[in-house]
Amino acid sequence: SDIWEEELVRLNSSGFREGDRVRIKGYAMAVGGKANINERHSADPSMNFTVELVQAGVGLPEPEIVTIPEMNTFDPTRLTGGERYQCRRIRINDVHVVSGTWGKNQRVTIADKLGNTLLMKLCNVDFGPAPDSEFDVIGLGNQEPQFGPSGPIPGTGLTDGYQIWVTRPDGIIIPEPVSLTLLLMGGGFILSVRKR
């Protein structure tokens, strides 16, 4: 655990911020359908991967709007489906929580109006109380195997197991009630008419 803590300090000492453009150099290997940059399970410093700043403050990419059925589709060409959206910033609109425990580092199942479901992980920060109505979610597309009592179930997670990781509180967007929005719009219209 000391080696792990030292590694986290090394990687986090850079002061990089969300929205910086970086270059990562290291060893890569295929793990469960992903390219995994790693240190080959070695504490040897020559195996360390590095993270270099290319440009600070570039900003985050606009999230791509996808649906739960799109996320749950396997497309070997990677032109659509869950494979395409892995590691991409995505947005899924009009969902609600159907099961799970809401909170930091917890997983919940979300569903759309048609009952299509997707796993959502709330990562690393406090997200406040669970929404009690429909909401939109912005996060990173991900894919993980299914887990059983003994760990990952072999053969899962290669063409399924898609999910969304929410990494910041503003990734949970609760739309304003329609009546309030219409009231504000109507009030603005009345003020505009009175000014004329």
* pLDDT recorded at residue 151: 76
Say if CB 57 and CB 19 are below 8 A apart.
yes
pLDDT of residue 100: 97
pTM score above 0.75: yes
Grade residue 191 by pLDDT with cuts at 50, 70 and 90. low
Phi, psi of 182 (to 5 degrees): -65, -40
Specify whether the CB–CB gap between 24 and 54 falls below 8 A: no
Q: Mean pLDDT check: name the lowest of 32-36, 48-52, 89-93, 142-146.
A: 32-36
Q: Are 104 and 130 in contact (CB under 8 A)?
A: no
- Residue where the block lists tokens 């425990």: 101
> In angstroms, rounded to a whole number, what is the distance separating the alpha carbons of residues 13 and 20?
15
SS (H, E, C) 108-177: EEEECCCCCEEEEEECCCCCCCCCCCCEEEEEEEEECCCEECCEECCCCCCCCCEEEEECCHHHEECCCC
Task: Tell me the pLDDT tens digit for each residue of 118-137.
Answer: 999 999 889 999 999 999 99
Q: Which residues contact 103 (CB under 8 A, 6 or more apart)?
A: 122, 126, 127
Average pLDDT, the chain: 87
